[in-house]
Amino acid sequence: MTWWVYLLRCADGTLYCGIALDVEARLNLHQAGKGAKYTRGRGPLELVYREVCGSKAEALRRERALKRLKRPAKEALISAAVTGRP
């Protein structure tokens, strides 16, 4: 199984971080109001970043690390993923 860590941009501009086996299916749950409590009422949501992880444990560690980053660092990560630069 391939686990992913992902970032969503909420309509209010905030970022949400989570993990999933199927990011698209998880995004659909968030959009339907059945995902995390945080994302309910904050739509529409946009998937802005995803990163593959080798295991659930690795995805959870990476999620924790991303959540600890300051917003400018998260935005830089998103920007680098969009431009393809590290």
| Least-confidence region, from 38-42, 75-79, 82-86 | 82-86
DSSP string across the chain: --EEEEEEE-TTS-EEEEEESSHHHHHHHHHTT-S-GGGTTS-S-EEEEEEEESSHHHHHHHHHHHHHS-HHHHHHHHHHHHHT--
Position 85 pLDDT exceeds 70:
no
Q: Which of 67, 76, 81 is nearest to 18 (CA)?
A: 67
pLDDT at residue 86, as a whole number: 60
pLDDT at residue 81, as a whole number: 85
52 lies in which domain range?
Answer: 3-83
Q: Measured in whole angstroms, how far is the alpha carbon of residue 8 from the centre of its chain?
A: 5
Segment 47-68, tens digit of pLDDT: 999 999 999 999 999 999 999 9
Segment 17-32, tens digit of pLDDT: 999 999 999 999 999 9
* pTM for this predicted structure: 0.93
| Least-confidence region, from 9-13, 63-67, 77-81, 82-86 | 82-86
CATH of the domain at 8: 3.40.1440.10
Q: How many structural domains does the chain have?
A: 1
